């Protein structure tokens, strides 16, 4: 341990020069700020520090604060209580405020808060103001502020912290301990090694005194006291510093816990989806699986969910396009409704008239005209769609449906789901089961986010929270796989796939289509719902057979390719128009060979309020 004689020997000449230089710098750098304080200053600052036998510091500060002519409520005393210890831990020196006294009519009310690693004692009354000089006495205890070394114990105490914004005069500090070996003292701006104006200690005594005549704004005084080894207990209070690496530790323990939880949650959901989200099929031969059997049903074996029946050249059991689209993907989608509109036109319930493009900045539009037909023959979802399109009107433009048809679209989709359930195609209504699992997934995500925040803030187990979030995402997205078809639904699905194969590969069956009258128009709505309209048109362009398209009026001459392109444009426009919603209106140690002002515990600063 370096000797204290380096600091204790006379250095009057050097100190005088240093004081002059410091004063000059203060007036150059912060002179304007100090002058802005007016008469506000601390006329005396007396502090008594007693090192108790248990290592606790008993601190009494008497601060004579002059508020000048500007009214204030009282003073603030800020005391740092968290200090860096090493790359992982911080050292903490918590304080207990025992009491506050005030003279000169000042209020002794106080409030203690801790934020940003600083404990603040706010003294005064918010309902009363005062000016001029007043004296405050603050009494508090400090825990864990003694440093331990191989041959001695040490107190490094920032008696006056460097964060006072006013000039402080007549600083007196007394430190008492069971025994004192050596002392040192530093004053000035934080980091200064300028010795204090006064530092006295009698050999063999138990009290040391320190002082400074004047501390300018943002200057402090730090006292260092060396005590015999074992004279007081050393208690190092520390807490682990927060960091991403700490919060989301990948050590075997936290990582293993996170991985195990992820496996349990995601694996449990996958198992549940495997048991409840699988389609069922009839037991028996391939014919039984498609046409039904009497031996009951069972889950579809793994890898056979996409199986289809032999090809069919007509919609099985007269299914309409909207029904087939809902059956195939388990969704009553906008495209299903669009195909239904085309299907109604093909069947003679309405006529679609193409309105010519008005110009460079115009948009294509279509007029829908109601025709005389037996509406009672329509399925419930078709009746609702038909009424929603026209209301009491005889004709409407597609553009006029924008923003106000969306609510009707929801009702039509509801009817499509109801139709599917009436036909016993699904175990549970697909949109309901998906919504249930989406809600559960988002709830788990929310729980995971809260858990991640709390675990990352207070523990090393942040990855556990992340595992919960990942499981929630898997559950929310996996809800898509939860709708399960009954054996009846699976049988009909395979037949529908057989029919879709024919429509999607229409060029392979062109000879078959040539034999059928008006098949192009009849099956066009299914080409729409399968998304192969232009391919369907190209096939019949090659066949050269006539097409009955009287239900669609175009300003140009008919050709299959032009018609297919027009129908694609119509389908896209319908989907965008009927689903559009209205826009919402909105509203260091002393023994380490050196020291400096501000290098110990305590300190801080304060000011008026």
DSSP string covering 564-595: HHHHHHHHHHHHHHHT--PPPP----GGGS--
In angstroms, the CA 30 to CA 32 distance is: 5
Q: 5-241: what fold?
A: Immunoglobulin-like (2.60.40)
Rg (CA), the chain: 43
Residues 287-328: pLDDT tens digits? 888 887 777 889 988 877 777 778 888 999 999 999 999 999
Q: What tens digit of pLDDT does each residue of 143-199 get? A: 999 999 999 999 999 999 999 999 999 999 999 999 999 999 999 998 889 999 999
Contacts of 259 (CB under 8 A, 6+ apart): 467
Domain boundary assignment for the chain: 5-241, 277-427+484-578
pLDDT at 598: 66
> What pLDDT shows up at residue 360?
61
| Cα–Cα dist 217/62, whole Å | 18
pTM: 0.66
Do the beta carbons of residue 368 and residue 352 sit within 8 Å? yes
Token pair in block for residue 459: 């523990």
172-176-179-180 Cα dihedral, nearest 10 degrees: -20
pLDDT at 267: 92
Enumerate residue ranges in the chain where pLDDT < 50. 1-37, 585-593
Q: Look at residue 234 in the predicted model and tell me its pLDDT.
A: 92
Q: What is the pLDDT, as a whole number, of residue 37?
A: 44
Quote the CA–CA distance of 9 and 3 in Å, as a whole number.
11
What is the residue-wise DSSP string for 418-469? HHHHHTT-BSS-HHHHHHHHHHHHHHHHHHHHHHHHHHHHHSSBHHHHHHHH
In order, the DSSP letters of 286-304 are: HHHHHH--SS-EEEPPTT-
Q: How many helices (H) and strands (E) does the chain have?
A: 17, 27
How many angstroms separate the CA atoms of 404 and 396, rounded? 13
Instruction: List C-alpha distances in Å: 268 to 275, 462, 476, 477, 482.
Output: 11, 22, 14, 15, 14
């Amino acid at each position: 341990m370096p000797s204290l004689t380096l600091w204790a020997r006379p250095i009057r000449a050097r100190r005088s020069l240093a004081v002059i230089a410091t004063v000059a710098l203060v007036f150059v750098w912060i002179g304007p700020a100090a002058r802005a304080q007016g008469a506000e200053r601390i006329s005396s600052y007396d502090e008594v520090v007693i090192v108790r036998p248990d290592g606790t510091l008993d601190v009494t500060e008497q601060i004579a604060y002059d508020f000048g002519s500007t009214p204030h409520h009282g003073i603030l005393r800020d005391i740092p209580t968290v200090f860096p210890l090493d790359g992982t831990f911080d050292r903490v020196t918590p304080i207990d405020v025992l009491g506050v006294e005030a003279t000169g009519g000042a209020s002794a009310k106080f409030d203690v808060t801790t934020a940003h690693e600083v404990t603040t004692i706010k003294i005064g009354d918010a309902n009363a103001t005062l000016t001029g000089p007043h004296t405050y006495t603050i009494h508090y205890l400090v825990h864990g502020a003694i440093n331990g070394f191989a041959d001695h114990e040490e107190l490094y105490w920032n008696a006056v912290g460097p964060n006072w914004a006013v000039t402080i005069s007549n600083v007196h500090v007394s430190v008492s301990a069971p025994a004192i070996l050596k002392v040192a003292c530093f004053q000035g701006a934080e980091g200064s090694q300028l010795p204090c104006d006064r530092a006295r200690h009698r050999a063999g005594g138990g009290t040391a005194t320190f002082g400074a005549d004047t501390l300018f704004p943002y200057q402090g005084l730090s006292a260092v006291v060396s005590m015999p080894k074992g004279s007081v207990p050393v208690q190092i209070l520390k807490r682990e510093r927060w960091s991403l690496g700490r919060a989301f530790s990948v050590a075997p323990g936290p990582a293993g816990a996170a991985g195990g939880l992820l496996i349990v949650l995601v694996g449990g959901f996958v198992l549940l989806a495997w048991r409840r989200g699988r389609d069922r099929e009839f037991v028996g031969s391939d014919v039984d699986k498609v046409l039904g059997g009497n031996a009951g049903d069972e889950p579809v074996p793994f890898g056979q969910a996409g199986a289809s029946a032999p090809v069919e050249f007509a919609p099985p059991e007269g299914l309409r396009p909207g029904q087939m689209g809902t059956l195939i993907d388990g969704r009553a989608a906008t495209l299903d409704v669009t195909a239904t509109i085309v299907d109604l036109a093909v069947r003679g319930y309405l006529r679609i008239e193409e309105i010519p493009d008005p110009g460079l900045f115009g948009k294509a539009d279509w007029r829908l005209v109601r025709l005389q037909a037996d509406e009672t023959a329509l399925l419930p979802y078709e009746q609702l769609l038909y009424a929603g399109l026209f209301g009491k009107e005889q004709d409407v433009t597609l553009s006029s449906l924008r923003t106000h048809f969306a609510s009707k679209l929801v009702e039509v989709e509801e009817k499509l789901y109801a139709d599917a359930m009436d036909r016993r195609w699904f175990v549970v209504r697909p949109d309901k089961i998906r919504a249930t699992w989406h809600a559960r997934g988002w709830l788990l995500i929310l729980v995971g986010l809260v858990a991640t925040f709390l675990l990352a803030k207070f523990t090393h187990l942040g990855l556990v929270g992340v595992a919960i979030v990942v499981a929630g995402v898997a559950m929310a997205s996996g809800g898509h796989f939860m709708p399960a078809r009954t054996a009846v639904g699976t049988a009909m699905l395979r037949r529908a796939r057989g029919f879709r194969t024919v429509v999607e590969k229409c060029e392979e069956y062109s000879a078959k289509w040539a034999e059928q009258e008006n098949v192009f128009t009849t099956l066009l709505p299914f080409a729409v719902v399968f998304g192969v309209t232009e391919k369907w048109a190209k096939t019949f362009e090659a066949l050269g057979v006539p097409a009955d398209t009287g239900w669609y009026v175009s300003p140009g001459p008919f050709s299959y390719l032009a018609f297919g392109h027009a129908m694609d444009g119509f389908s896209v426009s319908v989907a965008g128009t009927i689903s559009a919603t209205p826009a919402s209106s909105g509203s260091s140690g002393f023994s380490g060979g050196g020291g400096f002002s501000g290098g110990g515990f305590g300190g801080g600063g304060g000011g008026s309020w």
